[in-house]
């Protein structure tokens, strides 16, 4: 008997990193999950590795595209008959710079990738969750949704925006059996971090290792967080016991955030 | 059901309400649990009801007293050989009042019960946990740890204070395998809330106990109280080995009440 028996989840960016860890944790608790990603090959690889049989399904799509975001939700409902849990998890940023040098494109891209994707998937998912009077939405925000770091304002802005969206939406659907929270992980060395971290580091005047060291040193644990830390909290929020937690910005950052 | 297999837990105020729910949940996950309460008879009844045989024990005493809090921890280590999870949960008010009418006696009681109890317990537990490089400290705080409410200034002050203590302590022991976290529940209709609520309502300038509960729940998104089981589920999660990287966290279980 798992905590999430019979539940259906959609996790964007679910083939690797935090999204993958959450998908695996949800499956082990009895849920069916749809994971999304841009690469069909990575999607197949993820399903092979997960060995979840019919309990996992992959849908290709780019979260920067509204139609793809909405299609992911529709595909979940079509495949498994409903959607109970949404984790708009995909995210990141590129072309960072200090505000004085930041381009419109870099700011727009971060907002599309993180905030608009969360908004589009949430809006669609709520159209199913509200009539069924049940839902669990967990936005993948970040430590940078609560604090500001120099030279990556596009990422900081997008994550702060997601936090506001979580708070607002939570108060709209609070009496409808739907919770909406933002998870705020600290630094985790996912593939996305490895891919985009070096440029962010340069923008901040650091080496890549220096960037990772900053995350570690600012925490109480003096090391990076891990994808499993986020999955642990995600399972709790998705479970029946999570019904009383909503509109919250939950730090999973080894004691870094000041609030 | 073995998320806490082999762990030893103590819970101040563990015979009823939030503390009891935590004790029950942790026992169900394979832990040994010592519950503390003031009343010996209620304590023994609690142990029987919990049904854990030798895995449950009761330690009598008032958690507003240093000797009780330190004694609970010493008793737990003596009985079960170690302490893994220290739940500093007891707390409340007796005869709260607005600041201008607050008595010295009530203020001193609330500070001892809500703040000093946590310091005494944390210090004693850490003295055991630090050499072992392993442990979990879980403090029951409140939404009043972040928000202000008229009529309960002592409780509000103390819950803000324990939040600070949790943050500071977490930074001290972060590399020693010990996590320190606070639970911030919204209003829950516990025995203590039911017992002291009518007087608290008056102190807050409200018509009735029900009006007080509504005052709290209307600020939430869920428009209803939280439950002891919801708090216990978070406590179990934080107590696990898997939660080793979660520390210094003000964990909300408040139905969306707090603004941050």
pLDDT of residue A34: 98
- Please give the full DSSP string across A39-87, using - where no structure is assigned: -HHHHHHHHHHHT-GGGEEEEE--TTSHHHHHHHHHHHHHHHS---EEE
Bridge partners, A184 (sequence order):
A251
Q: Quick one: pLDDT at residue B204?
A: 84
Domain that holds residue A22: 8-188+226-252
Contact pairs from chain A to chain B, CB under 8 Å: 110
Q: How many residues does chain A have?
A: 259
Residues of chain B with pLDDT under 50: none
Contacts of A232 in chain B (CB under 8 A): 237, 240, 242-243, 246
Residue B234: list chain A partners with CB under 8 A.
236, 241, 245
Residues of A with CB under 8 A from a CB of B: 167, 170-171, 173-175, 219-223, 225-226, 228-229, 232-233, 236, 239, 241-252, 254-256, 258-259
pLDDT tens, chain A, 259 aa long? 899 999 999 999 999 999 999 999 999 999 999 999 999 999 999 999 999 999 999 999 999 999 999 999 999 999 999 999 999 999 999 999 999 999 999 999 999 999 999 999 999 999 999 999 999 999 999 999 999 989 999 999 999 999 999 999 999 999 999 999 999 999 999 999 999 999 999 989 999 999 999 999 999 999 999 999 999 999 999 999 999 999 999 999 999 999 9
Query: Of B58, B244, B20, B3, which Cα lies nearest the Cα of A252?
Result: B244
Across the interface, whether the CB atoms of B253 and A244 are under 8 A apart is answered: yes
Give B160→chain A minimum CA distance, Å: 12
Long-range contact pairs involving B41-47 (C-beta distance under 8 Å, separation at least 24):
B42/B15, B42/B16, B43/B15, B46/B14, B46/B15, B46/B16, B46/B20
Does A193 map to a domain? no
| Secondary structure string (H, E, C) spanning A101-122 | HCCHHHHHHHHHHHHHHHHHHH
Active-site residue, selected from the candidate residues A80, A155, A208, A259: A155
The pLDDT score that the predictor gives to residue A223 is 98
Q: CB B250 to CB A259 under 8 A?
A: yes
Report yes or no on A14 lying in a domain. Answer: yes
Domains and CATH numbers, chain B: 8-188+227-253 (3.40.50.720)
CATH number at residue A165: 3.40.50.720
Q: Determine whether the interchain pair B243/A171 forms a contact, defined as Cβ–Cβ distance below 8 Å.
A: no
The per-residue pLDDT for A53 is 97
Catalytic residues of B, by residue number, are: 155
Determine contact, residues A81/A125, Cβ cutoff 8 Å. Answer: no
What string of DSSP letters covers B143-175?
A: GGGTS--TT-HHHHHHHHHHHHHHHHHHHHHTT
The whole-number pLDDT of residue B215 equals: 87
| Vertex A99: Cα angle to A97 and A100 (nearest 5) | 100
- pLDDT recorded at residue B210: 92
Beta strands A135-140; A85-87: pairing state: parallel
d(CA B99, CA B154): 8
Cβ neighbours of A256 in B, within 8 Å? 248
The pLDDT assigned to B192 comes to 79
Contact B23, B12 (CB under 8 A): no
A217 within some domain: no
Query: From the centroid of its chain, how far is CA A36?
Result: 12
Handedness of CA B45, B50, B54, B60 (dihedral sign): negative
Q: Chain centroid to CA B134: how far?
A: 20
Chain B: residues touching A (Cβ < 8 Å): 167, 170-171, 173-175, 186, 220-223, 226-227, 229-230, 232-234, 237, 240, 242-258, 260
Average pLDDT, chain B: 96
Residue B237 to chain A, least CA–CA distance (Å): 8
Whole-complex ipTM: 0.93
Could you tell me the CA-to-CA distances from A13 to A65, A72, A101 in Å, in that order?
A: 13, 11, 29
Q: Which residues of B touch A167 (CB under 8 A)?
A: 256
Residues of A in contact with B221 (CB under 8 A): 170-171, 173-175, 246-247
In angstroms, the separation between the Cα of residue A22 and the nearest Cα of chain B is 14
Give the closest-approach CA distance of A20 to chain B in angstroms: 17
At residue B197, the pLDDT reads 87
Chain A residues closer than 8 Å to B226 by CB = 244
In three-state secondary structure terms, B83 is: coil
Contact A60, A30 (CB under 8 A): no
Q: Cα distance from B41 to chain A (closest Cα, Å)?
A: 31
Interface test with chain B among A244, A252, A253, A257, by most B beta carbons within 10 Å: A244
Residue in B233, B242, B247 nearest the CB of A221: B247
Instruction: Tell me how close the Cα of A61 comes to any Cα of chain B, in angstroms.
Output: 32
Partner residue facing B256 (CB), from A226, A242, A247: A247
Residues of chain B with C-beta less than 8 angstroms from the C-beta of A163: none
Q: Which residues contact B38 (CB under 8 A, 6 or more apart)?
A: B60, B61, B62, B63
Transcribe B49-73 into DSSP letters.
HHT-GGGEEEEE--TTSHHHHHHHH
CB A84 within 8 A of CB A135: yes
Burial A28-48 (b: 16+ CB within 10 A, else e): bbebbbbbbbeeeebbeebbe
Residue B175: CB atoms within 10 A of its CB come to 13
Contact A54, A65 (CB under 8 A): no
Q: How many domains does chain A have?
A: 1
How many H helices and E strands in chain A? Answer: 9, 7
**Minimum-distance CB partner of A228 among B227, B242, B248:** B242
With respect to residue A77, please indicate whether it lies within any of the assigned structural domains.
Answer: yes
Domain assignment of residue A177, yes or no: yes
Which residue from A236, A242, A247 is facing B221, i.e. has the nearest CB? A247
pLDDT of residue B59: 98
Which pLDDT belongs to residue B190?
A: 87
């Amino acid at each position: 008997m798992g905590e999430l028996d019979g539940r259906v989840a959609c996790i964007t960016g679910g083939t690797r990193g935090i999204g993958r860890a959450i998908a695996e944790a949800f499956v082990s608790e009895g849920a069916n999950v749809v994971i999304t990603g841009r690469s069909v090959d990575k999607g197949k690889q993820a399903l092979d590795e997960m060995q979840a049989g019919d309990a996992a399904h992959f849908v290709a799509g780019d979260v920067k595209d509204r139609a793809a975001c909405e299609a992911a939700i529709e595909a979940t409902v079509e495949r498994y008959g409903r959607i109970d849990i949404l984790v708009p998890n995909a995210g990141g940023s590129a072309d960072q710079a200090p505000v004085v040098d930041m381009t419109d494109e870099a700011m727009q891209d971060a907002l599309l990738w993180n905030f608009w994707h969360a908004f589009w998937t949430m809006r669609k998912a709520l159209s199913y969750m509200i009539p069924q009077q049940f839902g669990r939405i967990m936005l993948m925000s970040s430590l940078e949704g609560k604090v500001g770091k120099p030279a990556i304002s596009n990422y900081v802005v997008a994550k702060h925006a997601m936090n506001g969206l979580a708070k607002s939406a939570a108060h709209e659907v609070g009496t409808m059996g739907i919770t909406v929270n933002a998870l705020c992980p600290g630094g985790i060395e996912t593939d996305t971090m490895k891919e985009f971290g070096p440029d962010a580091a340069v923008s901040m005047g650091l080496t890549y290792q220096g960037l990772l060291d900053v995350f570690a040193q600012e925490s109480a644990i003096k090391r990076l967080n891990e994808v499993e830390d986020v999955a642990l909290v995600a399972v709790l929020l998705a479970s029946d016991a999570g019904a009383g937690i909503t509109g919250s910005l939950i730090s999973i950052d080894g004691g870094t955030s000041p609030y | 059901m073995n998320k806490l297999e082999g762990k030893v837990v103590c819970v101040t105020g563990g015979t009823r309400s939030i503390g009891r729910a935590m004790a029950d949940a942790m026992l169900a996950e394979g832990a040994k649990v010592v519950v503390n309460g003031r009343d010996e008879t209620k304590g023994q009844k609690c142990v029987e009801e919990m049904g854990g045989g030798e895995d449950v024990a009761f330690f009598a005493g008032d958690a507003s007293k240093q000797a009780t809090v330190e004694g609970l921890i010493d008793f737990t280590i003596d009985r079960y050989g170690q302490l893994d999870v220290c739940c500093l949960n007891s707390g409340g008010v007796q005869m709260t009042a607005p600041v201008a009418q607050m008595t010295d006696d009530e203020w001193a009681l609330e500070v001892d019960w809500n703040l000093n109890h946590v310091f005494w317990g944390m210090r004693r537990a850490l003295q055991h946990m630090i050499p072992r490089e392993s442990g979990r400290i879980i403090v029951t705080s409140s939404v009043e740890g972040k928000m202000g409410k008229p009529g309960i200034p002592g409780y509000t002050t103390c819950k803000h204070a324990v939040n600070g203590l949790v943050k500071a302590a977490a930074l001290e022991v972060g590399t020693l395998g010990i996590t320190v976290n606070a639970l911030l529940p919204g209003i829950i209709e516990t025995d203590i809330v039911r017992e002291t609520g009518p007087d608290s309502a008056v102190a807050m300038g409200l018509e009735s106990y029900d009006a007080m509960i509504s005052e709290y729940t209307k600020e939430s998104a869920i428009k209803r109280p939280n439950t002891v089981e919801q708090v216990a589920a978070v406590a179990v999660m934080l107590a696990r080995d898997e939660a080793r990287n979660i520390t210094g966290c003000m964990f909300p279980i408040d139905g969306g009440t707090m603004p941050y």
